[in-house]
Each structure stands twice: as C-alpha cells, then as structure tokens.
A and B are shown apart, each in its own frame.
Chain A
Amino acid sequence: MIVRKRLTVQNTIAVIVALIFLVVVLFSFSFIGRRPGAGEQFIRQGVEDTGAVNIVAAIYLNYRLFDTIFEILVFALAVIGVRFHLHAIKDKRPRLKEALFISESHIVRVAGDLLAPVVALIGLFLIVTGHLAPGGGFSGGALLGTVILLLAVARGGERVGRRLNEDVVDRLEQIFLVSIIALSALSPLFGRPFFANFFPLGEPGRLLSGGWILLYNLLIGGKVFIGIWVMMYCFIRHRGDV
C-alpha cells in the first residue's frame, strides 16, 4: 500500500532529477584538497591593518563590515517578523497559576541553576575575546540566549519571561541595532572613510586592541542575546510551554 503510494510519476522524476544534480555537481568539482596561498593577503596584512590577532574577526568586522551589517539586519528582521506574525496566532499563554507550576523534575532545575552561570560566563568570555581567539558577538550572544533557554526549561518559560520587562527589552534591542549601524557611519567625523575603524589599534594580542572590534562584538553580542530571547519567548508563548 505504502509502496504503491510512493511510486508515483512525480516521485520517480524527482529522484532522477536529484541524482542527475548529484552526478553533475560531484564530477565537476575538481577539488584537490589543498590550495595554499588563498587569503594570504589577509594573513599578511590583517594584524597590521586591524590590530586583531584573529584574522576571521578582522575580516568580519573590518574588511567586510558591510556584509556584517546586512547580517545583523537579517537577524533583526527575523526577530521583527517572528514577533509581528506570531501576533496573528491565538495567544496560548497559560494562566498565571499554570505558568508558575513547575512541571520539570528536580534534577533539571538544580542542574539548570548550576549550569546557567557557567554558560553565561563562557558566553561573555567569547564576546570579550572575539578579536583574540575563536568567538565573537554572534556565538557569544547565542550562548547567552541559551542560558535563558536553560532557565526557561528549568523554571518554566513564563516565569522567566515575566522577569524581563518587555518594553525595556524592546527598547534595548532597538538601541543596539541603531548603534551598530550608526557606529559605522561615524567614521568620517574622525577623518576616516565610512566603515573604517577609528579607534586606536593597540598592541596586537592584548585585550584592548583591534580597534572597534571589541566594541562591535559587545554590541552584536547584546543584540543577538536579546534577539534570540525575544524570538524564543514568542515561540514559547504560542506553544504554551518550553
């Protein structure tokens, strides 16, 4: 029965088409594994140009900052869209009595309480050392967002959500967004072209180095942290629970 249902013309064609795609792409990818010298201009000049030891951060927040602005806007748009459209669905927010009832087991709660500060610290560390080591605003911010998710799992989403004043959170998020865009437009005031760093570069390898990368990482981290929480809170509310 099931087999007969699946062997339709459409599915056969789909499989054939996908296989052709696979063969075509695989056999024309002349991938030989190693191509030294790619991106060497960044390796050579990156530290000197930007003062950041982590070249990925240097590219991400200096050479290709314009792309990053888009990326932040995409993220902001996702948050705005989720919030706008979820209002169309009936709000399934449980009543206060239900919300305060903790359904999870004791172990989850204690483990959540124990883990949350540690994860939060790691997130902050990733944000602050984004220009020295792997990390940066997005990964750190996402980690901070998961801290609140952890708390929400342990104590119920509604209880955590009530703690954070929605208006303040919204305002903060908007301010982060505006300052991220505006910071790049401030450069001409300091005699530099738009989207060029105007902070002192500092000594590479120190915490206070890399020009505005640190500041940008902090702003992006805050934005992503709040954004992820707002998105998750919307989903939690319309699903009823975590």
Chain B
Amino acid sequence: MTQLLLPVLFFITGALVLLWPRRAQLITLVAVLSSGVLVVMLAARFFDYGPISYTIGGWPAKMGIELYFDEIGLYFSALAVVLGLAVITYLWNRRMKSHFYLLFNFLFGSIYTLIFAYDLFNIFVAMEFLTLISFLLIGYPRRPYQIWAGLKYLLLSAIGMGMYLLGVAVLYYHTGALNLGIIAELVGGELTSGRMTCGLAPQYEAWVIVSSALLVTGLAVRAGIFLFSMWLPDAYSFSSPVVAALLAGLSTKMAGIILIRLAAVFPIDSVLLILGCITGILGGLYAIFSHELRRIISFSALAQVGYLLIGLGVGREAGITGGMLHLVAHGLIISLLFLAGGTAIAAVGGGSVSLLNAKRAVIPPLARLSLLIGLLALGGFPWLPPFVGRALLSGGIESGWLKAVVSLISLTGVIAIVRLLPVGYISDRNSPFFSRDSLPESLSFVVLLLPILFFFPLVRLAGIEINLGDNLIKPSMILISGILLWHLVIKERITGTLPKGILKLDWAIISLVAGFSIIYLLIGLL
C-alpha cells in the first residue's frame, strides 16, 4: 500500500515551501487536505482487510524498513489530520513566516512516519528529526525564555535519544534485527522456550533487561512522564499557543505510540504501571498547586500520561485500548485548551487564574465555551472524550489498590480544574458568537469541538463496545466530590507552590539518569 508513504508527501511540500515561500499557507493546506484523503483510503482498507504492512522499496522486512498500519495508525493519523486542519485554520489570518510552515510540514512528515514506523532505527531517526523540529518551533518567536525552554528540551531529549540508540545497539547485537516484528519473535521465543513460568522475571537475560530499560528511558523523556521529562512544563507554557498545541497534541504523543508498540514486545508491563502511578499522582499534585492556566494544563498533561501507562501496564486488551483512546482524546482536548487558552489570555492580558476569572467577560464567547468544554473533559465529564478511555481502562483493572490510584488521579485532575470553571460562565449575552476578525479562530475551535463532542459515537463506529450507563456513576461521583472538596476544604489552603527544583536543568538530568536505574531495577526484579 503506497498510501503509507504519506510522510514523503509532507517532505515534498516542505521543500516546495522552501522554493515558493509566498504560497506557503496554500501549499500546507493542500498537503493537510490530501493527507486527510490518504488517511481515509488507508482506513477504508484497514476496515476491509485488517492491518496493512508495507516494506519500503520492495525489500524483505529483514533488510528494508517496514511501515505498518493498525489501530494505532488509524486513531493517531485521524488525530493528526484534525489537529493539522485546526492549526491551519487558526493561523489563516495571521502572517506567519514561511519558516513556520516549513517546520509545520516537516513536523507532520515525521509524525506520520512515527505513527506508521515499525523499525527501531527508523523510529530513532524520525524521533530525532521531530526533536529538532519541536526545538525550533519552541524557539521560533525567539523570546529568551522560549529559547531557554527549547534548549532544556533539546538537551534532555538528546540524552534520552542517546540512551535509546544505545538500547537499539544492544538489541541489534543480540538479535541481529531492527524490525520490531522480528525482534518480537526472538524475544518472545525466549519467553516461550520453557524457562519462564511465573510473572516474575529474573529469568530474562541481562541484555533484554538493559536494552528495554534503555529504550523505555529514552522514550519516557519524550513521552512526558514525571521524573523523566521535566522540560515539559516550561516548553508547554512558554511557547506560543499554536506551538504548544502541536507539541502537546502530537509531538509528545508519538513517544507514547512507540511505548505502546514496545510494550507488546518487552517485559515492561509492571514498570509502566508504576511509572504511570507516579506520573499521574505527582503531575496532578503539581497541577493543583499551579496558578496559571497554561501551567495547570501542562502539569495535568503529565498526569494524563499516567492513564496510558497504567493501561499498558494492566496488559489486558481493554486496558491497552483504553489507554490508547485516552491518549488520542487527550491530544484533542489539550490542543483545544491551548488554542482557546491562547485566545483567552491574549484577550485578558495575563494567564493567571484570578485574572482570567475576573475579566472573563472580555474573552470571545466561543473561546470561553471551548475552554469550558475542554476543562470539563479533562475532569472526566461523562460523554466527553477522556471519559471513554477511562471507562474502558477501569474495565480492565481488577486489583483494588490500582482502582484507588486511578480514582485518585481523576480526583486530582478535577481539583486542578475546578477553579477555572467560572471562566465558562456566560455573564452577558450581547457579544456575538462569531465575529469577522476572529472567524478563522472560531472555525478552528469548531473543527476541534466536532470530534470532541462526537468522540463517543465515532469510537463506537470504529467497533469498540462501551456501555455508557454502567460507567456513568463513578466519574460523576468523582467530579462532584472534586468540586465539593475544592470549595469546602482546599480552596483557602492552597497558597504556596510545590518545590520547583526538579524543573531546573541539572536536577532534571539527574532525575532522568536516576530514573534509568529505577526502571532497570524494576524490570529486573518484578
């Protein structure tokens, strides 16, 4: 299926932007639209015939590079198309330099590659390309704090990718392959060759443990996991809204995809479970103690990765699908929040919670509505996207303490957003819903709101069974108790902030290296 070569389309359009900088916007729009057509073709074929595999250049998979399209590809390429359209429409009236559109095209090229990638070294190359693009995008408006956030991001992810490449080297030395399918057979063959019977795994050879620890550490830096990717809050909250939306909605999600693929091959379930609990709870706590809109969204992004990891760690099909759907849903939500938040902050003149609440009448109505829907969705409001993933996920969990932890993460998520909910309260009905100046922005909110509001039926259409009725009670309970807790207990007591040391560059690197040892020990012992 040559449609899988969709990334090359973006490379060609990127090069065309270089040649004709004046037509950059048009070329990019055409590229995004045609990628949408290609994704629809791929999806149609996937529904008819199942997963699509394609080795570039017609070589055998052991020698060439394989691309692979399955459920992951389906969900995430749909997400990429929606986000691409939303960002293009958001920017339609603004005069961006052609440099931005060049980066935009290349970003989508590498993202589609990572969605389809099935070869470890290809993943490395595309990931590094993505790192450099995101780095340039963060620093694109050239403010000093953006430059500093970008530099932090680049240093940390370069260390992470160094570790990843070291892991690939170990793996290649022992298996002689880079293709994930072949490696899965080899590692799995060892699994079934009789030496292991129980879930505990000192029986793995040392190289499996060290290479999977290196790979997971490398990807954890990119995936937005607490302790590993402490570049994230600064990069998200300092970069311009569009860049933050792209970064949070797509760029960071890619490492999550690769983690999903790796979890099917390596014995990393329990590690991911524990990392998920840590990142969920700590991210939620930091979000509660933040006082700026974008800061809160960034820290809650750290917390939301926890659901994916817990889903992967549970290991059942419901858990994995739930985690994956949650990742897609969160991609939609967070980009909506960053775009609408950008509009709101620009209208109000500051990003702090108190300012936003005080001056909410100035915010354009549609942006306010989008903010409200996005925040409610983050809190797990029934029917809205993250709810779907969480419902599936909790269906896959059996042990009691894990259920408690997941509820706790949801609760912190609700508490973090409660104080922002007044923003959505519509006090005057005079301001027009659509105005001529803000038409592109409103259109982009609509582009994002449509899949958010119809996420549930769409998921059902894709053939995933969720019972709405059974899962209504618990999220509503958590939502209500979170709101009550905030207003009755916490509201007056939150004044300070949690220690910010871990966000500093040196400590971020130290915690990353220490995290590797922790992962290694956990894989070896559990």
Contact = CB atoms under 8 A, between A and B. Distances in A.
A56 interface: no
A64 B65 contact: yes
A169 interface: no
For this complex, into which size category does the number of interface residues on chain A fall?
35 or more
B122 A67 contact: yes
B19 interface: yes
A178 B129 contact: no
Contacts of B350: none
Given A70-B125, A81-B132, A195 B57 contact: yes
Interface in B480-513: 506-507, 510, 513
A10 interface: yes
B121 A17 contact: no
Nearest to A83: B99
Contact of A13 (B56, B510, B520): B510
Interface in A174-215: 174, 177-178, 181-182, 184-185, 188, 192-196
Given A64-B65, A73-B106, A181-B12, A10 B209 contact: no
Contacts of B510: 10, 13-14, 17
Nearest to A25: B210
Nearest to B14: A73
A181 B513 contact: no
Nearest to B128: A74
Interface in A35-69: 35, 37-39, 41-42, 45, 49, 62-67, 69
B15 A174 contact: yes
A30 B506 CA distance: 31
B11 A174 contact: no
Nearest to B206: A28
A42 B63 contact: yes
Given A10-B506, A66-B56, A78-B132, A20 B517 contact: yes
A77 B513 contact: no
A30 to B, nearest CB: 6
Interface in A97-139: none
A18 B173 CA distance: 24
Contacts of B136: 77, 81, 84-85
B2 interface: yes
Contacts of B14: 73
B281 to A, nearest CB: 23
B53 to A, nearest CB: 14
B56 A174 contact: no
B18 interface: yes
B125 A71 contact: yes
B456 interface: no
B62 interface: yes
A80 interface: yes
B264 interface: no
Contacts of A18: 513
Interface residues of B, number: 54
Nearest to A46: B63
A182 B133 CA distance: 21
Contact of A174 (B8, B18, B58, B122): B18
A229 B416 CA distance: 51
B448 interface: no
Interface string A153-182: 000000000000000000000100110011
A194 B56 contact: yes
A24 interface: yes
B133 to A, nearest CB: 7
Interface in B14-71: 14-16, 18-19, 56-59, 62-65
B517 A184 contact: no
Interface in B78-133: 99, 102, 106, 109-110, 113, 121-122, 125-126, 128-129, 132-133
B207 interface: yes
Contacts of B158: none
Contacts of B520: 24
Interface centre among A29, A37, A177 (most CB of B within 10 A): A29
B302 to A, nearest CB: 22
Given A28-B207, A78-B132, A185-B8, A66 B122 contact: yes
Contacts of A14: 506, 510
B210 A24 contact: yes
B261 to A, nearest CB: 18
B129 A74 contact: yes
Contact of A85 (B18, B62, B142, B506): B142
Contact of A67 (B58, B59, B121, B517): B121
A233 to B, nearest CB: 18
Nearest to B121: A67
B15 A21 contact: no
A7 interface: no
A141 B124 CA distance: 24
A122 to B, nearest CB: 29
B252 to A, nearest CB: 19
Contacts of A39: 176
Given A64-B65, A66-B65, A177 B132 contact: no
30 contacts: A17-B517, A21-B517, A24-B517, A28-B206, A29-B170, A30-B205, A35-B176, A37-B176, A38-B173, A45-B63, A62-B59, A63-B64, A64-B65, A66-B57, A66-B65, A67-B121, A69-B8, A70-B125, A71-B125, A74-B128, A74-B129, A81-B136, A88-B142, A178-B16, A178-B18, A181-B8, A181-B12, A193-B2, A193-B58, A195-B57
Q: Which 6 A-B pairs have the closest CB atoms?
A: A28-B206, A28-B210, A195-B57, A193-B58, A70-B125, A178-B15
Given A65-B56, A80-B99, A193-B56, 11 more contacts: A17-B510, A28-B209, A30-B205, A37-B176, A38-B176, A62-B57, A64-B122, A66-B57, A69-B11, A181-B8, A194-B5
